[in-house]
């Protein structure tokens, strides 16, 4: 009896919702929309065929009849893209393809409930699902034009396809090589809980579209059209993997798609080889074969900027006195005027041991000082204009700067004479006047480097360099957060 009551009730609802359901089937590609402007009168078999396909796609029992389960399914949160419902093949679909396998992305704004950090890590994790099963590689940009452009917008904003407020359509994306991905800013975006919509999983789905996959007819595939909720152990469906591999191939262990010189570094995780305040007060960061400047410029090959210079440098230092840039690797030293190598370089270093850790220019006594690996704690001082007496070295770093670490990765001098020492994920600031380290080491990611001058709570000697104040932004910046 109960069953028939439910049926009766649902028939009433169904008739009320019939036009809505028809609109759903049209909107998501299950019903063909003729080009003429005539009112649409679908034949009953057209409607029931469309329903059958929808039911099959969404794992419902295939009846061709509107029932409660179908209604509920149509009410679930989903992706705004069509399902290509007329195609009967049960598998992934393809909407396009990028011609390259190394893609950049940029996040223009953030989910208000998650904030910048959690939005960023959810998107990063979403890209990882695809890079793990394909030769595709992704890197986030913080400025400039990226291949994949991610943003959150509401109903009324500039997108030609407005969202619908909280619920139903969660996100939409364009096929290659557009790269647009939009999330509905009215949704409650969450991570780690079943309430709201999980940004990581929905983002992985939309990235699938941006990479060229359409909706799968496997309901449980990531590329299925309906959001199937938060799963703590979420994994791609074999159909998702087959789809992406059909477009881009299988993952290659030797990573041959990366540019020559190895994979482009994740700027937030790299171990720095060298940092220098170079000509025109540009800050250069070196890691492996790559170099990048402040505020998230894309890494380029070291050899693309300084011709003939190898990667994996030990140290880089620019002398404002001579306007020369020195690079040290192994037992060799390179000298450049601007980006042009000076005649006679590289030369062999004869007076200091090979493989120094780092180098910086000291404004105080206008000398180049080289920190050296010698027993992990020694330093050499060298004047670029005078023949040095190297017999007195190494001296102890701890005698030069009290509290300085040994075995540094990189070092640099800022315009105010402050010296920064880098090791692993930390950095130290040295007050050259007091010849000692100021405070405790700080983390490179999320530190005061990345704050604008107004955010810096500091006394005079600790304030953001004056060069920054004029521009109103932090030019001595960590690329990770800008
Ligand atoms: Zn979709
Ligand atoms: Zn949009």
Model confidence over 410-450: pLDDT tens digits?
888 887 778 888 887 778 888 877 778 887 887 776 554 43
Both tokens of 379, joined, read 């330093």
Given this model, what pLDDT does residue 15 score?
55
* Closest ligand to the CA of 206: 1
Token pair belonging to 27:
């909107």
DSSP secondary structure of 5-33:
HHHHHHHHHHHHHHHHHHHHHHHTTSS--
Query: Which residues are documented as binding site for Ca(2+)?
Result: 113, 147, 164-165, 184, 187, 273, 316, 359, 409
Is the Cβ–Cβ distance between 476 and 418 less than 8 Å?
Answer: no
Tokens 């990028």 map to which residue?
98
State the residue for tokens 């590329």. Answer: 223
**Quick one: pLDDT at residue 69?**
92
Terminal-to-terminal C-alpha distance of the chain: 64
Taking the C-alpha atoms of residue 303 and residue 285, their distance in angstroms, rounded to an integer, is: 14
Distance between Cα 203 and ligand 2 center (Å): 14
Using the mean position of ligand 1's atoms as its centre, give its distance from the Cα of residue 97 in Å: 16
The domain at 102-248 falls in which architecture?
3-Layer(aba) Sandwich (3.40)
Q: What is the residue-wise DSSP string for 353-393?
A: -SS--EEEEETTTTEEEEEE-GGGTEEEEE-TTS---GGG-
Q: How many CA atoms lie within 13 A of 29 on its CB side?
A: 15
Q: Find where tokens 């994306």 sit.
A: 173
Q: β-strands 148-153, 180-184: how paired? A: parallel
User: Residue 9's pLDDT is what?
Assistant: 34
**Rounded CA separation 410/66 (Å):** 67
- CA–CA separation, 377 vs 395, rounded Å? 8
* Torsion angle, alpha carbons of 136, 140, 144, 150, to 10: 90
Give the integer Cα–Cα distance in Å for 110 and 191.
14
Q: Which residues are annotated as a binding site?
A: 79, 113, 147, 164-165, 172, 182, 184, 187, 205, 209, 215, 223, 273, 316, 359, 409
Residue 154 Cα, ligand 2 centroid: separation in angstroms? 8
| CA pair distance 275, 283, nearest whole angstrom | 7
CB 106 within 8 A of CB 148: yes
Between the CA of 10 and the centroid of ligand 1 the distance, in Å, is 29
Ligand having the closest approach to the CA of 79? 1
Q: What is the pLDDT of residue 254?
A: 44
Gap between the Cα atoms of 391 and 351, Å rounded? 8
Q: Which helix (H) or strand (E) holds 275?
A: strand 274-277
Cα–Cα distance measured from residue 429 to residue 443, given in angstroms and rounded to the nearest whole number:
12
- State the Cα–Cα distance between residues 80 and 178, nearest whole angstrom: 16
Of all ligands present, the nearest one to the C-alpha of 159 is 2
Fold of 274-471: Hemopexin (2.110.10)
What is the per-residue pLDDT for 4? 30
Q: Which residues are annotated as a binding site for Zn(2+)?
A: 79, 172, 182, 205, 209, 215, 223
Q: What are phi and psi of 172, to 5 degrees?
A: -150, 165
> Which residues are found with C-beta within 5 Å of the ion, ligand 1?
79, 81
CA of 112 from ligand 2 middle (Å) equals 17
d(CA 312, CA 355): 11
Strands, sheet with 367-372, edge to edge from the N-terminal-most edge strand: 358-362, 367-372, 378-382, 395-396
Cβ proximity of 326 and 320 under 8 Å: no
Residue stretches of the chain with pLDDT short of 50: 1-13, 254-259, 448-482
| Ranges for all domains in the chain classified under CATH 3.40.390.10 | 102-248
Both structure tokens of 433: 């006047």
C-alpha 206 to ligand 1 mean position (Å): 6
Q: Where, residue-wise, is CATH 2.110.10.10 in the chain?
A: 274-471
Residue 132: its pLDDT value, please?
A: 93
Q: Please give the pLDDT value at position 377.
A: 76
Dist CA 185 CA 157 (whole Å): 10
Q: What is the pLDDT of residue 223?
A: 93
Ligand (nearest to CA of 156): 2
Q: Cite the active site residues.
A: 206
Q: What is the pLDDT of residues 243-270, one digit of tens each?
A: 999 999 998 764 433 445 566 666 666 6
Angle formed at CA 16 by CA 10 and CA 22, multiple of 5 degrees: 100
Cα(210) to ligand 1 centroid in Å equals: 10
């Amino acid at each position: 009896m109960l069953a028939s009551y439910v049926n009766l009730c649902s028939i009433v609802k169904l008739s009320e919702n019939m036009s809505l359901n028809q609109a759903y089937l049209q909107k998501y590609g299950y019903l063909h929309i003729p080009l003429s402007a005539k009112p649409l009168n679908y034949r009953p078999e057209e409607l029931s065929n469309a329903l059958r396909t929808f039911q099959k796609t969404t794992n419902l029992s295939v009846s061709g009849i509107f029932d409660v389960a179908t209604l509920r399914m149509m009410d679930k949160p989903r992706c705004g893209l069509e399902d290509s419902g007329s195609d009967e093949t049960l598998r992934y679909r393809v909407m396009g393809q990028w011609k390259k396998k190394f893609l950049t992305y940029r996040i223009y704004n953030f989910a208000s409930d998650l904030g910048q950090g959690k939005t960023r890590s959810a998107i990063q994790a979403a890209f990882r699902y695809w890079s793990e099963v394909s030769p595709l590689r992704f890197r986030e940009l913080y400025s400039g034009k990226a291949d994949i452009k991610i943003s959150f917008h509401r109903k009324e904003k500039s997108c030609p396809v407005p969202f619908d407020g909280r619920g139903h359509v969660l996100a939409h994306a364009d096929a290659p090589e557009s790269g647009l991905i939009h999330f509905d800013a009215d949704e409650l975006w969450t991570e780690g809980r079943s309430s709201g919509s999980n940004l990581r999983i929905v983002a992985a789905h939309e990235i699938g579209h941006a990479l060229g996959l359409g909706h799968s007819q496997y309901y449980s595939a990531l590329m299925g059209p309906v959001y199937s909720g938060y799963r703590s152990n979420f994994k791609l469906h074999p159909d998702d993997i087959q789809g992406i591999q059909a477009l881009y191939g299988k993952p290659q262990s030797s990573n041959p798609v990366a540019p020559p010189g190895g994979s482009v570094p994740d700027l937030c995780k790299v171990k720095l080889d060298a940092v220098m305040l170079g000509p025109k007060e540009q800050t250069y960061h070196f890691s492996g074969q790559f170099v990048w400047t402040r505020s998230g410029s894309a890494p380029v090959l070291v050899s693309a900027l300084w011709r003939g210079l190898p990667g994996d440098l030990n140290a880089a230092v620019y002398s404002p006195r001579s306007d020369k840039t020195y690079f040290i690797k192994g037992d060799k030293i390179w000298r450049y005027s601007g980006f042009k190598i000076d005649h006679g370089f590289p030369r062999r270093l004869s007076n200091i041991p090979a493989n120094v850790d780092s180098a910086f220019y000291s404004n105080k006594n206008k000398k180049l000082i080289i920190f050296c690996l010698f027993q992990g704690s020694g330093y050499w001082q060298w004047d670029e204009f005078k023949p040095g007496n190297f017999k007195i070295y190494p001296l102890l770093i701890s005698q030069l700067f009290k509290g300085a670490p040994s075995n540094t990765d990189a070092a640099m001098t800022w315009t105010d004479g402050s010296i920064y020492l880098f090791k692993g994920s930390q950095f130290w600031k040295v007050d050259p006047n007091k010849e000692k380290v100021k405070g405790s080491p700080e983390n490179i990611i999320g530190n005061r480097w990345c704050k604008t001058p107004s955010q810096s709570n500091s006394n005079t000697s600790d304030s953001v360099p004056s060069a920054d104040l004029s521009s109103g932004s932090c030019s001595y910046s960590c690329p990770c957060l800008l």
